[in-house]
Chain A
Amino acid sequence: MSVNVYIPTPFRHLVGNRASVKAEGATVRNVLENLDVQFPGFRQQVFDTEGHLAHHINVYVNQVEIENLAGEATPVASGDEVAVIPALAGGAGPTVMTPEMVERYSRHLIMPQVGSVGQRKIIDASVLIIGAGGLGSPVALYLALAGVGRIGIIDFDVVDRTNLQRQILHQTADIGKRKVISARETLEAHNPNVNVVVHETPITSDNAFEILGQYDMVVNGADNFATRYLVNDAAYLLKKPLIDGSILMFDGQATVYLPGKGCYRCLYPAPPPPGMVPSCAEAGVLGAMCATIGSIQATEVLKLILGVGDLLVNRLLLYDALSLEFRIVKVRRDPECPLCGDNPTIHELIDYEEFCGAPIPHATPA
Chain B
Amino acid sequence: MPVSVRIPQPLRGLTGNLSIVPGEGGTLASCIEGLESSYPGMRERLMDESGQLRRFVNIYVNGDDVRFIDGLATPLKDGDEVSIVPAVAGG
Contact = CB atoms under 8 A, between A and B. Distances in A.
Nearest to A244: B91
B10 A278 contact: yes
Interface residues of A, number: 46
Given A251-B8, A320-B19, A322-B19, A268 B87 contact: yes
Interface string B52-90: 001110101001110110000000000000010111111
B25 to A, nearest CB: 20
Interface in A265-306: 267-272, 276-280, 283, 285
Contacts of A221: 91
B9 interface: yes
Nearest to B86: A277
B56 A277 contact: yes
Contacts of A125: none
A246 interface: yes
Interface residues of B, number: 22
Contacts, number: 98
B65 A225 contact: no
A251 B88 contact: yes
A190 interface: no
Given A251-B8, A267-B58, A322-B9, A272 B87 contact: yes
A249 B85 contact: no
Contacts of A204: none
A222 B10 CA distance: 20
A131 interface: yes
A277 B87 contact: yes
B89 A279 contact: yes
A280 B90 contact: yes
Contact of B85 (A228, A279, A329): A329
Given A277-B10, A322-B9, A329 B87 contact: no
B90 A134 contact: yes
A343 interface: no
Contacts of A322: 9, 19
Contact of A279 (B8, B86, B90): B90
A277 B19 contact: no
Interface centre among A246, A247, A329, A334 (most CB of B within 10 A): A329
A364 interface: no
A270 B88 contact: no
Contact of A330 (B10, B65, B88): B65
Given A320-B19, A329-B63, A332-B68, A246 B85 contact: no
A136 interface: yes
A224 B58 contact: no
Interface of B: 8-10, 19, 54-56, 58, 60, 63-65, 67-68, 83, 85-91
